[in-house]
């Protein structure tokens, strides 16, 4: 089977729609470089579209009915949205699930130190990264610092044109003979990914008596650069050094997402795994029509490190939200929660590796996604012998094919590279534990997990169209 180039199927009107959607998406990438920032953006748009906060409805004991739109946020890092359908929820939902965390550098709890005249923040990389890709590029700091009194200070430095940026240094090529003999996995060690944040010492005016007269001299103290950083942080944010203990600061590439190529056919930006699928899923929820089955969108944290923790897909957050919605519909029982989840259909909306001609030997060309080839379906992910994979049933795949043909959505199928080279996982297997039908679907990404990843505008647009078709027509 030959992959059809999606661009060849568009008329002029669709071309304009593709570009318009790409602009919206790039704006989302720019404003959502962390999980918290994504949630803020999504909640603002959802509320404008008529979504109501679930906890407020619970407190008011407001019953739900067909057509109602509700959302619930958990710890400012995960969100679930529901649009109530005409059928009872025990007959199942149509679910889109993506993640909004991305590989990055996290600032440690005791991070600030001085060495060789530089002030550093000590970091711990998050998710699967090629460490050497993170040196000598402009970096920004995003996140929150929560003080002992509960005050939350938001930090976002490095994105505006007049902001300073930060960086990880690298050894100059003239002295790098030994370094270049190392394997790529060790040429930059994890403990060497500390960011430089300053070089100027704190200068203190001191008065001393000389020849019977008071004279002012400028003096520097020990660790004066580090102390200068603390003075700046105190002035900017009213924080002390110990406030790093209760901070969540993420180091990400500085700069905006950009159109790529003379033809402007691609998008180059940070965090497209998996914010490209999160954005497309979220927009599908906003644009879909009223449906027979309840539509649901889950956007979660921690996928890059195993979906663990209170805000990851393995937590009970989603299940609890389903129970609360059933309760407001007057349909709650433990058995009904189980029936609802087991009868649901899901697209685990995550990215797939795009074919890279420069590394062609890593891919099976017959079973790989191509940029511009449309939305991607991975029947299974996992590693080598499908370890850790959700393997979708043939009946479910046939149902999805019929839906996409009906909606004229261009799609392709793929695997994550050659069988014995490795692999990866998604949240699919976690939802499959309920017994529901699940398949991985999403957008092909070039440079996956690099500081700057590339996608096709056409694939992003087709993903949204595919997600809308699924929400409206899936019913297996």
User: Residue 55: its pLDDT value, please?
Assistant: 96
Give tens-digit pLDDT for 391-440: 888 999 999 999 999 999 999 998 877 777 767 778 889 999 999 999 99
* DSSP labels, 403-444: HHHHHT--EEE--SS-GGG-EE--SHHHHHTTT-EEEEEE-E
The span from the CA of 470 to the CA of 96, in Å, is: 9
Q: Write down the domain spans for the chain.
A: 6-102+270-473, 104-253
Contacts of residue 227, Cβ cutoff 8 Å, sequence gap at least 6: 201, 202, 221
User: Residue 215: its pLDDT value, please?
Assistant: 52
| Residue 439 backbone phi and psi in degrees, to 5 | -145, 145
Mean pLDDT to the nearest integer, 459-465: 97
* DSSP labels, 242-269: GGGGGEEEEEEE-S--EEESTT--EEEE
CB atoms within 10 A of CB 109: 12
The span from the CA of 248 to the CA of 312, in Å, is: 16
Alpha carbon of residue 325 to chain centroid: 26
User: Residue 378: its pLDDT value, please?
Assistant: 87
The span from the CA of 297 to the CA of 282, in Å, is: 7
Contacts of residue 334, Cβ cutoff 8 Å, sequence gap at least 6: none
Mean pLDDT to the nearest integer, 63-79: 97
3-class secondary structure, 76:
coil
Mean pLDDT to the nearest integer, 191-212: 80
Exposed, middle or buried by CB within 10 Å (0-12, 13-18, 19+), for 33?
A: buried
Q: What Rg do the C-alpha atoms of the chain give, in angstroms?
A: 25
Pick the CATH number of 104-253 from 2.30.250.10, 1.10.10.410, 3.40.50.800, 3.30.230.10: 2.30.250.10
**Is pLDDT above 90 for 74?**
yes
The span from the CA of 298 to the CA of 278, in Å, is: 9
Mean pLDDT to the nearest integer, 261-266: 97
Give tens-digit pLDDT for 427-447: 889 999 999 999 999 999 999
Alpha carbon of residue 126 to chain centroid: 12
pLDDT band at 308 (very low <50, low <70, confident <90, very high): very high
**Is pLDDT above 60 for 212?**
no
Give tens-digit pLDDT for 312-337: 999 999 999 999 999 999 999 999 99
Query: Do 104-253 and 6-102+270-473 fall under one CATH topology?
Result: no
Alpha carbon of residue 430 to chain centroid: 18
Helix 12-31 crosses helix 272-287 at what angle (to 10 degrees)? 120
CATH topology for the 6-102+270-473 domain: Aminopeptidase (3.40.630)
DSSP 8-state symbol, 387: B
Residues of the chain above pLDDT 90, percent: 85
Contacts of residue 103, Cβ cutoff 8 Å, sequence gap at least 6: 125, 126, 127, 128, 129, 273, 304, 449
| Residue 288 backbone phi and psi in degrees, to 5 | -70, 155
The span from the CA of 122 to the CA of 111, in Å, is: 4
Residues comprising the chain, all counted: 476
């Amino acid at each position: 089977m030959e992959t059809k180039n999606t661009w060849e199927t568009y008329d002029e009107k669709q071309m304009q729609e593709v570009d318009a959607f790409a602009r919206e998406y790039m704006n989302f990438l720019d404003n959502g470089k962390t999980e918290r920032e994504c949630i803020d953006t999504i909640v603002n748009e959802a509320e404008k579209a008529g979504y109501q906060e679930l906890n407020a409805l619970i407190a008011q004991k407001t019953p739900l009915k067909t057509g109602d739109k509700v959302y619930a946020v958990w710890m400012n890092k995960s969100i679930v949205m529901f649009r109530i359908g005409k059928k009872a929820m025990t007959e199942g939902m149509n679910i889109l699930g993506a993640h909004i965390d991305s590989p990055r550098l996290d600032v440690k709890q005791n991070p600030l130190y001085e060495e060789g005249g530089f002030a550093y923040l000590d970091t711990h990389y998050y998710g699967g990264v090629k460490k050497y890709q993170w040196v000598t590029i402009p970096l920004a700091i995003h996140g929150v610092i929560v003080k002992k009194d509960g005050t939350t200070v938001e930090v976002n430095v490095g994105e505006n044109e007049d902001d300073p940026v930060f960086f990880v240094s690298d050894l100059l090529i003239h002295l790098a003979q030994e370094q270049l003999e190392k394997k790529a996995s060790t040429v930059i060690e994890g403990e060497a990914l500390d960011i430089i944040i300053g070089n100027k010492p704190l200068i203190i005016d001191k008065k001393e008596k000389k020849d019977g007269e008071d004279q002012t001299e400028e003096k520097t103290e020990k660790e004066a650069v580090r102390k200068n950083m603390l003075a700046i942080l105190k002035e900017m944010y009213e924080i002390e050094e110990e406030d790093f203990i209760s901070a969540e600061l993420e180091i990400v590439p500085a700069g905006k997402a950009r159109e790529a190529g003379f033809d402007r056919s691609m998008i180059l930006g940070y965090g497209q795994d998996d914010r490209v699928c999160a954005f497309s899923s979220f927009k599908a929820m906003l644009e879909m029509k009223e449906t027979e089955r309840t539509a649901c969108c889950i956007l979660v944290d921690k996928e890059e490190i195993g979906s663990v923790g209170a805000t990851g897909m393995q937590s009970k957050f989603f299940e609890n939200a389903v129970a609360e919605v059933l309760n407001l519909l007057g349909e709650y029982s433990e058995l009904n929660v189980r029936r609802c989840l087991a009868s649901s259909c899901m697209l685990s909306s995550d990215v797939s590796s795009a074919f890279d001609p420069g590394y062609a030997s890593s891919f099976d060309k017959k079973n790989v996604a191509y940029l511009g080839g449309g939305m991607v379906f991975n029947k299974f992910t996992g590693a080598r012998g499908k370890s850790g994979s959700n393997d979708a049933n043939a009946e479910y795949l046939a149902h999805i094919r019929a839906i996409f043909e009906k909606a004229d959505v261009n799609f392709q199928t793929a695997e994550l590279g050659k069988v014995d080279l490795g692999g990866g996982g998604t949240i699919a297997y976690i939802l499959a534990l309920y017994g529901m039908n699940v398949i991985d679907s999403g957008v092909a990404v070039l440079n996956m997990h690099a500081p700057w990843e590339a996608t096709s505008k056409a694939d992003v647009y087709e993903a949204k169209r595919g997600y809308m078709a699924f929400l409206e027509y899936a019913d297996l």
